[in-house]
Structures are given as C-alpha cells and as structure tokens.
Copies of this chain bind each other. A is one copy, B any other.
Amino acid sequence: MVRSAHTKPHGEERPKAASRTMAKNAAPSFETRPAGAPQDEAQRLPHRAAHDDFRWDGVEMRPYKEDERALYKSITRQVLFSDPNMAGELRYFEVAPGGFSTLERHDHMHAVLILRGSGHCLVGDAVKSLETNDLVTVAPMTWHQFRATKGEPLGFLCMVNAERDKPQLPSAEDVARLRKHPAIAAFLDNKPKA
C-alpha cells in the first residue's frame, strides 16, 4: 500500500502531484490505522518530499466519502506521522471550498495549525475566522467543526493523542441548543458573519 519511496533519490527532483498514484483499494474511512501498520514503514523514512497541492511522498490520501446525513462534506485526510514510538499523531486534513468537517466532540484534544488557505471554525460557543498559520485548540468535550467558507481550501494540521476516544455526534437537541446562538446558526448555514 505504500509507494516505493525507497528507490527514489531525494532532494534532486520533485515529481509532480499528477505523477503519483493513490494506494490501491484504499477504502475511505474515518478510522485511524492502528499503530504498527504498514504506512509506518514509510513514516520512518528520514525524508518525505512535499509535492504540489499538499500531497507527500509515501503518504496515502484518504478521501472521506460524502455523508448521506450531511455530517461532513468534501474533506480529505492524510496521516503524516504515526509511529508506535510516538504518543501523538499528526494528520493533514483539507476541506474543499464549501466543505466542512464533522461537527463532533470527544474527550481527546485537537491541536490545529492552519497550513493552507482560510475559513472558519466553531469551537464551543465561539465562531472564529481562520487564516493560514493560525492555531486552534479544541479542549476536551468541546463541540467543533471546520468550514472552508472563503472560496478557497482550508487545509490544517491536527495533532492528537495516538490513544484516544471515538468522537460523539450531536443530537438534534444539541444542534438546536447551538443554533440558539445567531453566530453559530450562521456558521452552520455556511454563512459566517465575520
């Protein structure tokens, strides 16, 4: 499942994104590969070059399938670092313009850095406008969502604990409670105010 990066010279050429191939039969999935899985082998390579359009050598892109309940839309995930010796994982998510991540909460925290583009996020009761390199901290059991609201992609790094609980989805009552805040209602309707 891992591209043969071992045989490619590093630092001499930067192949185009178009020349790379997706891992075969990579089923879209929310689940993180368990520690010690095959991709870890590539992740122990000392150097993995970045390509155009925020793709990397030896990193499989896992598109989220579109969700019939509209819980998320147009978001992809790449696991950049995951290793049995590391207590954290670093992933790169990218939301296409108009797309959004799942509105969810969980006991584990998210540590986010916006790597590409801009957008908005909801964290707790706060709607924030996001620019490249901004930091977002999602504390335990805090509702959160990321949206590419500004006509460009919103790409972000997200550090999490390797061992973590599963996300919880909001009930209809949770959503109704959030929507009582006009700023949150506007955000959830993809029309944030600021």
Give chain A's interface residues, CB within 8 Å of chain B: 10-12, 14, 43-50, 54, 56-57, 59, 80-81, 83, 85-90, 108-109, 111, 113-115, 121, 123-124, 126, 128-140, 142, 157, 159, 161-163, 194
Chain B, Cβ-Cβ closest to A48 = B135
Minimum CB–CB distance from A87 to chain B (whole Å) comes to: 3
A47 lies within 8 A of B121 (CB): yes
Chain B, Cβ-Cβ closest to A86 = B109
Question: For A90, what are the chain B residues with a Cβ–Cβ distance below 8 Å?
Answer: 90, 111, 113, 159
A47 lies within 8 A of B81 (CB): no
A14 lies within 8 A of B50 (CB): no
Minimum CB–CB distance from A115 to chain B (whole Å) comes to: 8
In Å, the complex CA distance between A159 and B46 comes to: 15
Complex A-B: 8 CB contacts under 8 Å? A46-B142, A47-B128, A47-B134, A48-B136, A49-B131, A50-B134, A80-B111, A90-B111
B87 lies within 8 A of A128 (CB): no
Question: For A131, what are the chain B residues with a Cβ–Cβ distance below 8 Å?
Answer: 14, 49-50
Question: For A50, what are the chain B residues with a Cβ–Cβ distance below 8 Å?
Answer: 114, 131-135
Sorted nearest first, the 6 A-B pairs with minimum C-beta distance are A88-B88, A87-B87, A50-B133, A11-B129, A46-B123, A81-B111
A11 lies within 8 A of B47 (CB): no
Question: For A133, what are the chain B residues with a Cβ–Cβ distance below 8 Å?
Answer: 50, 54, 56, 115
